[in-house]
Amino acid sequence: MQGSGFRGQGSGAMDQDSGGNQGEGYGAKGAGAGITPVDKLRDMVRGLPTKGRTLVEMSVKNVLYDRKTLVFFGLSLFLLVIPGYWAFTYGGSSVRGLDLFVMITMLVYLQFIVLYACLLFGTALFAEEEENRTLTYLTSRPVSTFELVFYKYIGFVASVFVLFLVPLLLTFAIIATHTSYALSSGFLFELGQYIGLMFVAVAAWGALFMFFGVFFRRYSLMVGLLYGLLWETFVANLGTGIKFATVNYYIRSLAPVPFGTASGETPWGQALAAMAGLAAACLLLAWYFQRGKDYN
């Protein structure tokens, strides 16, 4: 009898138990064998073109069709007034264009807009869909909880990153039109680093606030606001060792152009590993507290 579930047949050969019967169920190896992490990873890779794409697309649509997206994108476009005014008064300002770009990127985007966008979207990633009972319609095939968490997280990070990448590039383009070609072209490597830093920030904060939404549920927004205002805004600026427990500290430490006292204080490898470790830990915690629920 052919196994039921998404995999159907095994990887190239029929999996059989000690009695010779073929395994049944999603990714089953037989009555006497367990499912290893390698089997789960293999199933996720095989299911990416179908299940994974469906979940990622739905996650992207949930972000892009949200009214909060219009607010954040409109705010980002409104902020183009700052480089626009600088370009209009070119020659009458004491601030260099590339210095203005660094200040806008670090102070406005990375430490304010991206933080609160990840807060609002991340906490609602599961909480709102569970409340509206829309998780049932995400896929027509059975999915594990880890796949649901992972694929929705991928779609969330991709959509929020692109949401702020466009106005960031427009900011640089406006400033570059009134900056010499030598300076603008010489800054392209740093521009790429800032883009990568924005992606890392969205990935770290997105995983953290997604875990908040799963763990605190209806109180996740309130807890997230307290965390953002007190921890990431206030504690990150303290001179004590507690600042190492904030994402903002590592963002400033990874900044390609020195910004604040944290710049270069922690080696970039350690700072990047800390943010990647935070994202991975929060994903696992979100899976742990979300597991065991049936969405089909």
Q: Are residues 115 and 11 in the same domain?
A: no
Whether 195 and 165 have beta carbons less than 8 Å apart is answered as: yes
Q: Are residues 14 and 113 in the same domain?
A: no
Q: Are residues 148 and 219 in the same domain?
A: yes
List the domain range (segments joined by +) for residue 128. 37-290
Residue 86 identity (one-letter amino acid): W
Q: Are residues 27 and 132 in the same domain?
A: no
Nearest CA among 279, 56, 286 for reference residue 159: 56
Q: Are residues 13 and 45 in the same domain?
A: no
Domains in the chain, number: 2
Q: Are residues 9 and 55 in the same domain?
A: no
Does residue 114 belong to any structural domain of this protein? yes
Does residue 44 belong to any structural domain of this protein? yes
Which has the higher per-residue pLDDT, 212 or 262? 212
Q: Are residues 2 and 132 in the same domain?
A: no
Q: What average pLDDT does range 200-204 have in this prediction?
A: 95
Q: In the structure, what pLDDT confidence band is assigned to residue 88 with cuts at 50, 70 and 90? A: confident
Does residue 171 belong to any structural domain of this protein? yes
User: Of 16-30, 37-51, 131-145, which range is least confident?
Assistant: 16-30
Whether 169 and 78 have beta carbons less than 8 Å apart is answered as: no
Q: What average pLDDT does range 53-65 have in this prediction?
A: 82
Does residue 296 belong to any structural domain of this protein? no
Nearest CA among 220, 222, 210 for reference residue 282: 210
Does residue 295 belong to any structural domain of this protein? no
Q: Are residues 44 and 188 in the same domain?
A: yes
Q: Are residues 51 and 114 in the same domain?
A: yes
Q: Are residues 31 and 139 in the same domain?
A: no
Whether residue 205 is predicted with pLDDT greater than 90 in this model: the reply is: yes
- Identify the pLDDT of residue 41: 62
The string of DSSP codes covering the chain is -PPPSSS-S-SSS--B-TTSPBP-STT---TT-PPPHHHHHHHHHHHIIIIIHHHHHHHHHHHHTSHHHHHHHHHHHHTTHHHHHHHHTTTS-SS-HHHHHHHIIIIIIIIIIHHHHHHHHHHHHHHHHHHHT-GGGS-SS---HHHHHHHHHHHHHHHHHHHHHHHHHHHHHHHHTTS-HHHHHHTHHHHHHHHHHHHHHHHHHHHHHHHHHHHHGGGHHHHHHHIIIIIITTGGGSSSGGGGGSHHHHHHHH-SS--STTTTTS-HHHHHHHHHHHHHHHHHHHHHHHTT----
- Identify the pLDDT of residue 16: 39
Q: What average pLDDT does range 2-18 have in this prediction?
A: 39
Q: Are residues 216 and 275 in the same domain?
A: yes
Q: What whole-number percentage of the chain has pLDDT above 90?
A: 37
pTM of the model as a whole: 0.77
- Identify the pLDDT of residue 241: 75
Q: Which long-range contacts (CB under 8 A, 24 or more apart) does 172-175 make?
A: 172/101, 174/80, 174/83, 174/84, 174/87, 175/83, 175/86, 175/87, 175/97, 175/98, 175/100, 175/101
Q: Are residues 9 and 129 in the same domain?
A: no
Whether residue 122 is predicted with pLDDT greater than 70 in this model: the reply is: yes
- Identify the pLDDT of residue 9: 40
For 22-35, write each residue's pLDDT tens digit: 333 333 444 444 66
